Each structure stands twice: as structure tokens, then as C-alpha cells.
Amino acid sequence: MAATPIAVVTGASSGIGAATARTLAAEGFRVVLTARRKDRVEALAAELNEAGHQATAYQLDVTDRAAVDEFATAFRTLAVLVNNAGGALGADPVATGDPADWRQMYETNVIGTLNVTQALLPALTASGDGTIVILSSTAALAAYEGGGGYVAAKHGEHVLAETLRLEIVGTPVRVIEVAPGMVRTEEFATTRFRGDTEKAAKVYAGVAAPLTAEDVADTIGWAVTRPSHVNIDLLVVRPRAQASNTKVHREL
């Protein structure tokens, strides 16, 4: 009997990462959930195991290269890597944005993805049919006012995905970029606005139905389960109320 294929999901403690872990577990993958918050990934892994799936939790900060390398030694072969860890900090204009925020966003979104991808690429290649998913954003494709450092970091992730796809064509690893627009998760906007829930709520004000983490997990699950010869290069997904990063229909 063939071994159950393994999927690693980073940032699996909440939001899109946690929803993706659930989706891939339901698709029959053995999921390895990583996040800085050990309690959260352990609780989700326990829940999935109780439901009859196969899940393991691992505490990991994707910006810590030594820790990522140590984590990667556990995998001789790997079917799927979902680079989901990342996020936004602040919504200041370029004129006044804090360089420390910009640096941190580059570190988590771009270097974090680079670290995990580099460390696991040998195992993905050894599987004979590996898939890398890079969770970017519509901020990876177009700028918006106040997006500053986040737009720059997400453009960086987009370029990482594009470049890697060019460089490893012909090897048994495909590179999928999923770029969601407005997704309402429990933490994204609250983290961006440093716990200011009022500011966070304004992001979604009057929007009938922002995407949910499950909507995005659904697109990821679909993309990674396409036949082996198919590559979804870039999948942009937005709620119906959002026509562009700056054109949002609000019923106020």
C-alpha cells in the first residue's frame, strides 16, 4: 500500500492556514501543522486525529532558519508544502510608515517562505510529484494607498513564486500561487491594526460577504488536487463585492 502523502502547512494556528489544514486532511493528506503558537496547532491536530484524520503539530517560526532546517530533517519525501505564514503590520502611507514594520513584513512573508521552501525542496523533489503553494495576496499584484510595506512584501513573494517556477521547470515540483483579496479572518486585520478591533472592523464595513478562510482553503484544496500534469500558476480569488483592491461595494 502506498504511504499517505504528507502536506506541510505553515501558519496553521488560525485563519487560512488552519482551514487549509482541515481541507487537506479531509482530502486524505497526513497534515503537518506548523506555527509559532504550539498550543493552537496541537489542539487542531488533536481535533483532526479524533475525527479520524492524520495530523501532527510542530512549533515553528519560519523566520528562524536553523529551526526550519531542523524541522526539514524529518522529511525524506513530501507531497505538498503550503507557505501560508505571513501577514500585514500597519496601514501607514509610504511617507510615514515605520521601516521596522516593513522589515518585519519582508522577513515573515518573503524570507519565511524562502526558508521553508529551500529547506523542503529536496523532499518535495524526492516525492516525484511535489506541489508548493505560495499564499500571496491581491496585494502581490497591485498597489493600494496605505498598503506600503505589505504590498512590497507580497510583491516579493509573488516574484519568488514566479522565479522558482522558471528555475525548477522540468523537475517533479510545481509552484502554485494563490492570491486572495478581502478575506475576513479572526486575526488578519486585528494584527495589522495592532489589536484595534474598531479599525479592523472598518476593513469589512458594509461588505455583504467577504471571503472566509474556508473559501480560500477550498481553492487551495482544488489547486493541489489537480492532475499531476496541470499547474495552476496563479489563482486570484475575491469576494463578489470586491472588483479591485480599491473598488469595494459597501452597503452602508
Query: Which residues are tagged catalytic?
Result: 150
Least CB distance to ligand 8X3 at residue 179 (A): 8
Least distance (Å) between residue 112 CB and ligand 8X3: 15
When the beta carbons of 121 and 151 are compared against ligand 8X3, the nearer one is: 151
Work out whether 139 is an interface residue with ligand 8X3 (CB under 6 A): yes
Residues in the chain, total: 252
CB of 23 or CB of 84, closer to ligand 8X3 = 84
- Residue closer to ligand 8X3, measured from CB, 72 or 182: 182
From residue 14, alpha-carbon distances to 2, 28, 93, 233, 243 in Å are 31, 20, 28, 25, 27
Query: Which listed range, 16-24, 104-112, 135-143, 164-172, lies at the site for ligand 8X3 (CB under 6 A)?
Result: 135-143
188 within 8 A of 213, measured Cβ to Cβ: no
Choose between 48 and 110: whose C-beta lies nearer to ligand 8X3: 110
Residue in 137, 221, 234, 238 binding ligand 8X3, rule: CB under 6 A? 137
Quick one: 123 or 133, whose CB is closer to ligand 8X3?
133
Q: Note whether 6 binds ligand 8X3 by CB under 6 A.
A: no
Determine how many CB atoms are found less than 10 A away from the CB of residue 197.
10
Rounded distance between C-alpha atoms, residue 190 and residue 204, angstroms: 12
245 binds ligand 8X3 (CB under 6 A): yes
CA 24 to chain centre: 13
Q: What is the dihedral of CA 176, 181, 184, 188, to 10 degrees?
A: 70
Decide: 77 and 123 in contact? Cβ < 8 Å: yes
The tally of CA atoms less than 13 A away on the side-chain side of residue 24 is: 34
C-alpha Rg value of the chain to the nearest Å: 17
CB of 107 to ligand 8X3, least distance (A): 17
Size of the site for ligand 8X3 (CB under 6 A): 8
Question: Out of 90, 181, 210, 239, which residue is the one contacting ligand 8X3 (CB under 6 A)?
Answer: 181
Q: Terminal CA-to-CA distance of the chain, rounded, Å?
A: 57
Q: Look up cell 487542531; give the residue.
A: 44
> Minimum CB separation from ligand 8X3 for residue 183, in Å?
6
Pick the binder of ligand 8X3 from 13, 83, 138, 219 (CB under 6 A): 138
| Segment contacting ligand 8X3 by CB under 6 A, of 119-127, 134-142, 218-226, 233-241 | 134-142
Could you give the C-alpha distances from 107 to 79, 114, 156, 201, in angstroms and in order? 26, 10, 11, 26
Binding site for ligand 8X3 (CB under 6 A): 137-139, 147, 150, 181-182, 245
